[in-house]
Chain A
């Protein structure tokens, strides 16, 4: 997504490729040198003058090139230790890069995490001002924006309370409200939306959309695939310092899940396409009330989420689950066999084929929905054997009132 807008004024300092990019990352590598002995002391230095050259090299970011256009919401995902935060810190200038070059166009927010530098022994008032100064505002500007910050965080009653008496949710609200005060054109955000109560999260989302409308460029690192799909226009997936995929958020989210489940200790190939030996889900579909496979259904017609799985090992009470999501990625329900059948799913032996059916009353609002089937070992459901994101879909038609669900409502209005 390279903008080809002709520029009237070329940047003086040469940024050879894509002059319009807000953030341009060119063949960037970052290596950490980890000495074997973490804390070297002078004594060791003196006793072993030659040993100091022993280092382990950790290639945190390997030869990554990507260009982020102005106004783009760019997501970076990856598992722990994949180098995503290191890359973000390189963009922020907190770490210098070893090879390659990063150039940015516009003011960069110096923050990469919320609430950095908050001091628990100070009041919210002091902390907001200090934080804003760290963001690059002057003391006067910081004071001037104080009211806005507090109003946004909805913490008017608590401004003179010390932060140590704040709840974690209140802290996050304060931190978020402070961070978005910055006048930067490019914001870097590391793991932000996982916290706060539902209504504040909603507010944060709205704020993100506002930033998006204003054309700010945001690079954001997350584990949360829902916010990734919801906000990002593009994303990249990192693994062990490499960029393994770059593209549309939905595809990236899918690849991320695949990466995660593929690496489980008892891991089996998660996708149908992989002809592995492990347990796998071969097919998923929707059925109507009389057992016909359908891709469209009318509201109020009962709907059954179905999938077929090839069992590769002997299993005692595996958990079959079906997740129904909206197009935006909101989960409507997660139906689990261990919750809906008290006695468990029973015993399955290797080589068997299992079919799971989850029948539900169809109170969905007209839209397209997807089914994500999964099988996990008995227990919490974390030890997944197979999972396929959005394997089947259904379009529901009917009346929309504006809600997510069209629950049957019994209305009675009386004169008294």
Chain B
């Protein structure tokens, strides 16, 4: 602690330019601090989550794997939900696991974002920092887990006979879209929860519905057999459906159709893209509006 300051009287020497103190906002200050805070919070949470557990990080992998196992057994061996003569059903296992992992990310990021502002009350009330750090760190933490899980998915896919494809290059795009969607929802929910505490149970139900309303268990090819073109189109307006289907097509097997094909044309992809962008913008706008008073409304 040797800061070697001259002893003596106060030195009101260099007087820096004065500036107004503004209240808290979603994204004030420099981006470097925003990022390092977000990263630090997410990293700490990651470290703490499995603190003291024997399997540690493996638990992040075990949960989706168990869900996968259950669905796999019931829907292919017992229930025969999917038509096994359809193209792409050979890689159903890898498709299922991939979709589960993607959905797990979405569900984790959004459901834990709901309470995030309230749970971080002590920080919000005591430190001045960009409020967006909190939901952002929740999404980032889920992204860490997604990264680990995707490694398992890829190993599983390669093990079940999937060959590396050029379309794997689409992966960052697919994941990116998913993260933007999750971040938009996370911002929206975390800000709304401060005022409306019933967001939590509502969102739990909604995310359950989304699980079944997206091509996680049932493949798109089975749906195509049963739904009219209009309903199909409606189904594919769900951004999760588009993301999961494109993942299945581009990463696992080309024998299942791409998201563009499912929507009817590539241009139609603009619709779900607009929805994702819209959700993100609305989420940010709502969060930004309530950020100034979030600390006092908690």
Contact = CB atoms under 8 A, between A and B. Distances in A.
Interface in B1-42: 1, 3, 5-13, 15-24, 28, 32-33, 36-37, 40
A136 B128 CA distance: 10
Contacts of A136: 33
A70 interface: yes
A13 B22 CA distance: 14
Tell me what chain A mostly uses at the interface: helix, strand, loop, or mixed: loop
A93 B21 contact: yes
B208 interface: no
Contacts of B23: 90, 93-97
A165 to B, nearest CB: 14
A212 B10 CA distance: 6
B195 A40 contact: yes
B12 A69 contact: yes
Contacts of B36: 133, 138-139
Interface string A1-13: 0010101000111
Contact of B24 (A12, A93, A103): A93
Given A112-B126, A213-B7, A215-B10, A103 B18 contact: yes
B10 A71 contact: yes
Contacts of A111: 126-127
Given A116-B123, A151-B1, A71 B19 contact: no
Interface stretch (B43-51, B54-62, B174-182): B43-51
A71 B17 CA distance: 15
A295 B20 CA distance: 52
A105 B17 contact: yes
Contact of A103 (B21, B195, B292): B21
B197 interface: yes
Interface stretch (A16-24, A246-254, A284-292, A297-305): A16-24
Contacts of B16: 105-107, 185
B196 interface: yes
Contact of B17 (A12, A70, A148): A12
A183 to B, nearest CB: 10
A12 B129 CA distance: 25
15 contacts: A11-B18, A12-B17, A13-B17, A13-B18, A13-B19, A20-B15, A45-B196, A69-B12, A103-B19, A103-B20, A111-B126, A133-B40, A134-B123, A210-B5, A214-B5
Interface of A: 3, 5, 7, 11-13, 15, 19-22, 24, 32, 39-43, 45, 69-72, 89-97, 101-108, 110-113, 116-117, 119, 121-122, 126, 130, 133-134, 136, 138-139, 148, 151-152, 185, 207, 210, 212-215
List 10 A-B pairs, minimum CB-CB distance, nearest first. Answer: A96-B23, A71-B10, A70-B12, A105-B18, A215-B11, A214-B5, A116-B126, A110-B128, A102-B21, A93-B128
